[in-house]
Structure 1
Amino acid sequence: MQGRSAGLRFRVNIMNAIVNFFTAFDEKLAMLMKAVVTVLGIFVSFAIVVGIVSRALLGKPVFGIEELILMAAMWLYMLGAALASRERSHLSADFIQAFSKNRTLNDIARLIATGLSVVMAGFFVAWSYSLFAWGFEKGQVTPVFSIPQYISQASLFVASILLLIYALRDFIHDASKLVVKN
């Protein structure tokens, strides 16, 4: 009997170690994403001001600045979406929660919505990978700096993978709330 207890404790310790590893990894990834989003936000803002001032006041446009702004804005937007998904602060329409006080019904509705998010995120991963692979294969580049287009397309692929991971995490969390309750 004591062998079973030790085996169970061992499995629980292994699971806790895995959860702790992924939690620490997620925290470090979130810090990196926040830093990148901050730098990109500052860059995009500054570059837009420089572009406007140079064109409107100096009469000399900065060639290629739009390329850099577009690349940075794509990564800014996609990493921002991944952060919102991580923090579960993205937009949602929780109609059932607005009309029902039944906690179980609300939890079921949230689980269904999260399940649909997982399915859609899976489609987004497939579609964004296809776009990224196509861009990589075609070798298209921007006109001024010859930056490969797949760099901005990669932002869609990276963000869709992160969205899928966070949607799966939320689905497991929502399902466990229903299982623990019953």
Structure 2
Amino acid sequence: MTKGRSMINPARGNNMKAIVDLFASIDNVIASFMKFAVTVMGIFVAFAMVIGIVARALLGIQVFGLEELVLTAAMWLYMLGAALASRERSHLSADFIEAFSKNKTLPHVTRLIATGLSVVLAVFFVTWSYSLFAWGVEKGQVTPVFSIPQYISQGSLFVASILLLLYALRDLIHDAGKLFNKR
């Protein structure tokens, strides 16, 4: 090897960058869709709740089926919101080790362990939510007023669990890279 030359094949580096850029583009499209869906469903849930309360309390009118629509929208709202929080790593965490330890490596090790546990739990969540979704499809249950299939709201759990797993895997790779690059 000559001085100043890298052992890494430049073509391989360009291919890897292209793959990373492709995944980043796909992630941005998915995130844009999730943000739009969360916004629309959040507005819908808020207005639907107000309409339901005003109709019952002030007008004495029962709005049949509103709860079905709110439940379905709320399930997707909460699950996509959880996926967005995972994407942005803005979910709750207890990073108190950084405050108490002077060791610069220990926070990276604990973050890697926590992310590893998140991956394991996300795999369980995917398995469980798929079973629930498949059961809902098999049973064919529907809501009483609008006959909305139950698997539509159950599908929110499955979609969110897949997204949570993908983001947890991304974070695991990132955290492992940070830990091993420190050394």
Which bin holds the TM-score, normalised by the shorter protein? over 0.9
1:8 is matched with 9
1:140 and 1:31 mapped to 2: Cα distance? 31
For structure 1, which runs of at least 5 residues remain unmatched after alignment? Answer: none
Distance 1:108 1:57, change over 3 A: same
Q: What secondary structure is seen at the aligned counterpart in 2 of 1:12?
A: helix
Percent identical across equivalent pairs? 74
Deviations 1:104-152 (A, max 9, x none): 0010000000000000000000000000000000000001110000000
Distance 1:6 1:172, change over 3 A: closer
2:180 and 2:149 mapped to 1: Cα distance? 48
Q: TM-score with structure 2 length normalisation?
A: 0.95
Decide which moves more: 20-29 or 92-101: 92-101
Q: What secondary structure is seen at the aligned counterpart in 1 of 2:105?
A: helix
1:115 and 1:124 mapped to 2: Cα distance? 14
Pairwise CA distance, 1:101: 2.6
1:23 and 1:103 mapped to 2: Cα distance? 29
1:169 and 1:7 mapped to 2: Cα distance? 23
Counterpart check, 1:41 vs 2:42: yes
2:131 is matched with 130
For structure 2, which runs of at least 5 residues remain unmatched after alignment? Answer: none
2:64 and 2:104 mapped to 1: Cα distance? 57
Q: What are the equivalent positions in structure 2 for 1:149-164 lying under 5 Å apart?
A: 149-164=150-165
Decide which moves more: 130-139 or 93-102: 93-102
Question: Which residue identity does 1:131 align to in structure 2?
Answer: L
Determine which structure has the larger helix proportion and give its number. Answer: 1
1:85 is matched with 86
Question: Which residue identity does 1:122 align to in structure 2?
Answer: V
1:53 is matched with 54
Question: Which residue identity does 1:66 align to in structure 2?
Answer: E
2:43 and 2:164 mapped to 1: Cα distance? 24
Q: What secondary structure is seen at the aligned counterpart in 2 of 1:103?
A: coil
Deviations 1:141-165 (A, max 9, x none): 0011100000000000000000000
Question: Which residue identity does 1:144 align to in structure 2?
Answer: V
2:95 and 2:37 mapped to 1: Cα distance? 31
Deviations 1:60-118 (A, max 9, x none): 11000000000000000000000000000000122322321322001000000000000
1:119 is matched with 120
Question: Which residue identity does 1:33 align to in structure 2?
Answer: M
Distance 1:7 1:105, change over 3 A: closer
